[in-house]
Structure 1
């Protein structure tokens, strides 16, 4: 190897040590699992991957020729990172993550207000109109039913009257439960929307 190639390889290995250390801090902050054995396995895979990456960079620099001073160069890069650059990089990384999270929350709120809430309000309005129409129809039917029963009641046997009365009470209870269930569901949905928008 020429002197220029050796110098380029040396600088590349120092830079590789810095990059590997920065990647490890990024991995610890974003992807490292909590359970111990999972962490051991994933850490091992991470370091194997980084070793392959460093060797690939070495291969591009000098054809993959290993020298003892190259290991020292990588250690120098790692030491330089942890001594000088780690605090700056981790501070930048934390700030960047906070910016991304804030942007995500902002976009989420905008989409919720612009798209989701209008659709939910429209569905609520449609359901309220349908329930209102059904309630009016139900009341009209009950009025007609009451008039008809009043007119033909003398001619209806007692057991038929009792059956019709029980049927009417059952239908009325079902309608009341349906209206209460719909009202309860939409009130809960409205509270969730208010909490999400606040």
Structure 2
């Protein structure tokens, strides 16, 4: 390995140490969203460090064919320490501002989607259901009217037959008539 490759590896690992500091601060800030779920917290933490290790060894493979030396870890530690000492407070403020603006953008997009898509869809569905309800009610009234017209002659026929029945036999019809007289018909 040439001296140039070693310097490139060292500076890359210092930059990667700064990146790990940025990624870890970002991960910890976003991890507050699922802090109540301890299983998610541990799984995401494990996944985060696995991804960082894979990225680290991929960068090492690209830079110096994957050769790991002691100065690689020292350079990583120096980069992380440089981030903690020089950039952490500035990055935290910047991260909070970015998250604030992203949340505002997502709230705005959610309101737009709700106002432009969901509410009109609700209104259309309500109008269609109301129209269908009114049509069904009109059809039921029409059916009721047609039944009254159709059954009207049968009613008179039944009354005529009932008058023709002898008095001794009428006593068998009275329980049936009493039952039907207790039914309350609702008029609209």
Report the TM-score when normalising by structure 1: 0.66
Q: Is the CA contact (8 Å cut-off) linking 2:31 and 2:41 kept in structure 1?
A: no
The offset of 1:165, in angstroms, is 6.7
Q: Distance in 1 between matches of 2:119 and 2:39?
A: 44
The offset of 1:9, in angstroms, is 1.3
Q: Is the aligned partner of 1:76 residue 2:78? A: yes
Q: Distance in 2 between matches of 1:118 and 1:39?
A: 39
Cα 1:69–1:107 change in 2 (3 A) is same
Which residue matches 1:166?
183
Q: CA RMSD in A?
A: 3.5
**Highest Rg: 1 or 2?**
2
Which residue matches 2:129?
127
- Listed as ranges, the matches of 1:20-169 within 5 Å are 20-31=20-31, 34=35, 35-36=37-38, 39-139=41-141, 152=155, 155=159, 159=176, 162-163=179-180, 166=183, 168=185
1:42-67 per-residue CA deviation (whole Å, 9 max, x = no partner) reads: 43443243223222212222223333
Question: Any stretches of 5+ residues in structure 1 without a counterpart?
Answer: 177-198
Cα 1:163–1:103 change in 2 (3 A) is farther
Q: Distance in 1 between matches of 2:137 and 2:46?
A: 67
Question: Any stretches of 5+ residues in structure 2 without a counterpart?
Answer: 163-172
Which residue matches 1:182?
none
The offset of 1:83, in angstroms, is 1.6
Report the TM-score when normalising by structure 2: 0.69
